[in-house]
Amino acid sequence: MANLEMLEAFCQADGVSGYEKEATRVMKSYLEGYCDEIQYDYLGSLVAHKKGVGPKVLLTGHIDEIGFCVKEITEDGYLRVHPLGGWNTRNMMAEPVTITTREGKKLPGIIGTDPKPGWPRDKAIPMEDVYVDLGVASKQEALDLGIHIGDPITPKAEFMVMNNPKYVNAKAWDDRVGAAIVTDVMRNMAGKTLACDLYCAGTVQEEVGCRGAKTVGQMVMPDLSIAIDVGGDSDTPNAPKGKAVLGSGAALCVRDNSFIAHYGLLWHMEKICEEHQIPYTTYVLGYGGTDSGEMSKVGAGSINLTISIPSRHIHSHNSMIHLDDYDAIVALLSEFVKTFDQSVFEKLKECK
């Protein structure tokens, strides 16, 4: 069962792309004592290792979230910003943010997006017109607060259990939920002898180009890799209808714009779900990309799959998941890791 206290700790940590240390340290605190070693690459990705004899398995959830960094401090004390990750400016008007200074101070701010006179109401406002209001009157006041160019700016949102308590809203589900899932899988392996060599990683800088996945992949050189990330849902009023809806279980991705699933691994995961009554859907995504795009290309290639958790309102201050989907993915990956060995690996290799 999902641990709400752990999920809140993961989501409420500030960790935009390039500034993930606070979030990786939360992840570390829940992994200590459940693995043989914890390492970091030089970009800051966390890699937990449970030693086993057999093929190397790498499970990843990216630990960074979308946000901004300070690009300019105006003479009247506003912050011009540069986006870290993909934003729709219509989703950010008057939303709160946190600016973290070099000294670690957390400063409040509000996003302003005053449109130019005559700007169409149905058109997104250019990012260069977005600013952060600190509630000060001058550049010197902003400087006196300790703000520097490059300081990270993180969305601020409440962790909320919704009216149906299976639905939970938070900032940064993309992709703290994946990082939490791989953490829970590692914790589930405590005391077990594995026939594979297990690595679980919180990768950095996914939102700006899957950079941590590339370095972690080179560090681990996995035989098989699985990225866990959020996926768009199909059950909101104006969404294209599909099978990946909140509460439908693990969403097994056939392809996106960065990878094509290894069909042997895809079929193997479907079989595990059917044998253990784990709810799942299989879907095709016509856009986007995940860490799988980099991990599948490591070395001579890694047998690879992306597993998504359906999520509403992604790439905004607030997004929503269903706890049954979380539990389904943890159950699927835990069963996979427990039963994966050299013989299964050889059968998967024969598919190609």
List domains and CATH numbers for the chain. 4-65+171-350 (3.40.630.10), 68-155 (2.40.30.40)
Q: How far apart are CA 60 and CA 210, in angstroms?
A: 11
**315 carries a ligand binding annotation:** yes
Q: How far apart are CA 139 and CA 132, in angstroms?
A: 13
pTM (two decimals):
0.96
Q: Give residue-wise pLDDT tens across range 61-72.
A: 999 999 999 999
**207 carries a ligand binding annotation:** yes
Mean per-residue pLDDT over the chain, rounded: 95
With a cut of 70, which residues of the chain have pLDDT below it? Answer: 115-118
DSSP 40-51: E-TT--EEEEE-
pLDDT given at position 314: 92
pLDDT given at position 115: 66
Q: Give residue-wise pLDDT tens across range 279-320.
A: 999 999 888 899 999 999 999 999 999 999 999 999 999 999
**Catalytic residue among 20, 65, 206, 335, which?**
206
Angle between helix axes 21-31 and 4-12 (nearest 10 degrees) is: 160
pLDDT given at position 237: 80
Residues in the chain: 352
Q: How many other C-beta atoms are found inside a 10 Å radius of the C-beta of residue 336?
A: 23
Q: Return left, alpha or beta for 349; rule: phi > 0 is left, psi -120 to 50 is alpha, else beta.
A: alpha
Q: Which residues pair with 229 in a beta bridge?
A: 308
pLDDT given at position 177: 99
Q: Is 206 known to be catalytic?
A: yes
**148 carries a ligand binding annotation:** no
Q: Return left, alpha or beta for 210; rule: phi > 0 is left, psi -120 to 50 is alpha, else beta.
A: left
pLDDT given at position 3: 97
Dihedral over alpha carbons 342, 345, 347, 352 (to 10 degrees): -140
Identity of residue 225 = S
pLDDT given at position 111: 97
Q: Which helix (H) or strand (E) holds 319?
A: strand 319-322
Q: How far apart are CA 263 and CA 12, in angstroms?
A: 36
Supply 46's token pair. Answer: 């966390």
Q: How far apart are CA 311 and CA 279, in angstroms?
A: 16
> Residue 279 half-sphere exposure, CB side, CA atoms within 13 Å?
16
pLDDT given at position 91: 86
b/e burial code for range 94-112 (CB count within 10 A of at least 16 → b): ebebbbbeeeeeebebebe
